[in-house]
Structure 1
């Protein structure tokens, strides 16, 4: 009788947690009518010939619930930062005040809320695909382990465990999406 071959699911768990972290980060960047420093994090400014995150060319603050301010450190980058904000798709018109760019957050209308809810759905679907790809990778590793001598019974046990983990993460994604869409649609 062959020795039992152990299968490690920790790597799959870690990768799935990473996908969830990325989803939370993407959800935080969606504008819900309240100011948030995370909403400007994905914006890249062409600084010194390189795309640079906006929080690396200035200080991002939220002085009041409907205002984000970005104090740019190098005055030569103000125009580029303003252009990057306008082209980011946030739907916010930046106001330049010296070295500070003010981003007044307007109320969301129903149409914009629906668009943002769809974007949240797209983010969630991309994360579901990533989770399924990680699951597929785990199943492929199981097939290799079976070829290396793992018993069929052990393979079925591990397949069940990987599927349970996948189902758990898909449920977490669905719950996070439902919460985010509720937050977006809240008036």
Structure 2
């Protein structure tokens, strides 16, 4: 019987871990003023007719805090990379010098920083919704157990609530770090 409850708890924990992982990925996409290769991670380039992630056709690096440097494996890819960055609508203006594509990352305005904080808060709230959904699913599975005593079910629900509280707290901590990162000039 305890095995079934452990299985439900593990499944709930796994779903909550997934929500945290997703949140961390979303936070990487929210830029905080510093240039990062992750800023162009969502760009897909037309590589001989196939949509290919930018990282698979070029070396993406950040020589300094305000510049992203993209060096294609093949020189013929300079124009398609530039075009893909513009099409991706990231708000960047790529330039190429015949060898590499250079993106100057403009400093964030106060207004833009506030928008990014709102975006981060929205992502954190989505993660909390996922955590609560996992809690609800776990509790539903516990209630379905037929041969478990009421005490076992209650204890399992308490464990699920403790997991929920722990993960919600972790989301709040991640959000606080991201918010500080965004607002730091």
What TM-score does the superposition give when structure 1 sets the normalisation length? 0.86
What TM-score does the superposition give when structure 2 sets the normalisation length? 0.87
Deviations 1:59-93 (A, max 9, x none): 11111121111122244543343233224343221
- Equivalent-residue separation in structure 2 for 1:4 and 1:35 (angstroms): 50
Corresponding residue for residue 128 of structure 2: 128
Name the CA shift for 1:49/1:118 in 2 (closer, same or farther; >3 Å).
Answer: farther
- Equivalent-residue separation in structure 2 for 1:45 and 1:13 (angstroms): 37
1:100 aligns with 2:100: yes
Moved more, 167-176 or 15-24: 15-24
Corresponding residue for residue 72 of structure 2: 72
Corresponding residue for residue 117 of structure 1: 117
Unaligned runs of 5+ in 2: none
- By how many angstroms is 1:109 displaced? 0.7
Taking the TM superposition and a 5 Å limit, the aligned residue runs for 1:1-187 are 6-8=4-6, 9-145=9-145, 148-187=146-185
- By how many angstroms is 1:134 displaced? 1.5
Q: Please report the RMSD computed on the Cα atoms of aligned residues, expressed in angstroms.
A: 2.0
Unaligned runs of 5+ in 1: none
Name the CA shift for 1:173/1:166 in 2 (closer, same or farther; >3 Å).
Answer: same
Aligned residues: 183
